[in-house]
């Protein structure tokens, strides 16, 4: 029995279009989720700042502090990180920057990055380390993301810290062409398999 492929071809094309639309919708939703995660992180930072402000005012007024306020107000600032003098010797700028962020264990401003790299022995011969670093980190969106905070200096983060779904969002949408294959049963298989 011969199968008339023209009957099934429109159904196949429609299924391919629907599959592509579903993949595009998935990517759109992943981007929305990633944006919401960034907003949540920013809100958490702002909340900490406000709790610290409230705690500081309560200290001045000699009012009792909540446990959260006491914890946040008791911290006098970032702990000084020790960077060995040759920690980044003979490393490329992106590799050294990644290592520095891992040493910090947090996001860092561009100035903190350049100062930390200089302490770690990055090539002192670079004429404009700030510009070279910014350029090198911008060219590596797979490693770094720059978060521009409203009203404050932006910070560099590792992409994996900022967005755990980065791989899913940047993953290219592959559309496979399907072919109708005849035989005892009718099946739609990727065209590469259909030719064999």
Q: Give residue-wise pLDDT tens across range 167-176.
A: 444 445 455 5
Q: What is the pLDDT of residue 106?
A: 83
Q: What is the distance between the alpha carbons of residues 156 and 89, in angstroms, rounded to a whole number?
A: 21
DSSP strands (E only) in the chain: 144-147, 155-158, 178-181, 187-190
Mean pLDDT over residues 9-32, rounded?
Answer: 93
pLDDT in tens, 63-90: 777 878 877 776 444 456 788 888 888 8
Instruction: Say what the pTM is.
Output: 0.46
What does the pLDDT read at residue 19? 94
> Which helix H or strand E contains 12, and what residues bound it?
helix 5-60
Position 120 scores a pLDDT of 87
The CA distance from 133 to 137, in Å, is: 6
Residue 140: count of CB within 10 angstroms of its CB? 16
> CB of 110 within 8 A of CB of 133?
yes
Report the chain's mean pLDDT, rounded to a whole number: 78
Write the CB contacts of 136 (distance below 8 Å, at least 6 apart in sequence): 92, 93, 94, 97
pLDDT > 80? residue 32: yes
Q: Which residue has the tokens 């100062």?
A: 115
Q: 169 or 52: which carries more pLDDT confidence?
A: 52
């Amino acid at each position: 029995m011969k199968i008339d492929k023209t009957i099934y071809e429109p159904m196949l094309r429609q299924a391919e279009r629907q599959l592509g639309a579903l993949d595009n919708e998935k990517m759109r939703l992943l981007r929305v989720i990633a944006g919401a995660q960034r907003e949540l992180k920013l809100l958490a930072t702002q909340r900490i700042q406000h709790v610290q402000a409230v705690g500081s005012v309560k200290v001045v007024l000699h009012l009792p502090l909540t446990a959260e306020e006491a914890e946040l107000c008791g911290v006098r600032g970032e702990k000084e990180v020790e960077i060995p003098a040759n920690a980044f010797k003979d490393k490329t700028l992106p590799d050294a920057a990644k290592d520095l962020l891992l040493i910090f264990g947090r996001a860092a401003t561009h100035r903190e990055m350049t100062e930390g790299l200089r302490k770690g022995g990055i090539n002192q011969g670079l004429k404009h380390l700030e510009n070279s670093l910014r350029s090198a980190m911008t060219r590596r969106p797979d490693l770094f993301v720059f978060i521009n905070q409203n009203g404050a200096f932006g910070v560099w983060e590792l992409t994996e810290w900022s967005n755990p779904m980065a791989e899913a969002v940047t993953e290219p949408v592959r559309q496979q062409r399907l072919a109708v294959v005849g035989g005892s049963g009718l099946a739609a298989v990727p065209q590469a398999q259909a030719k064999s």
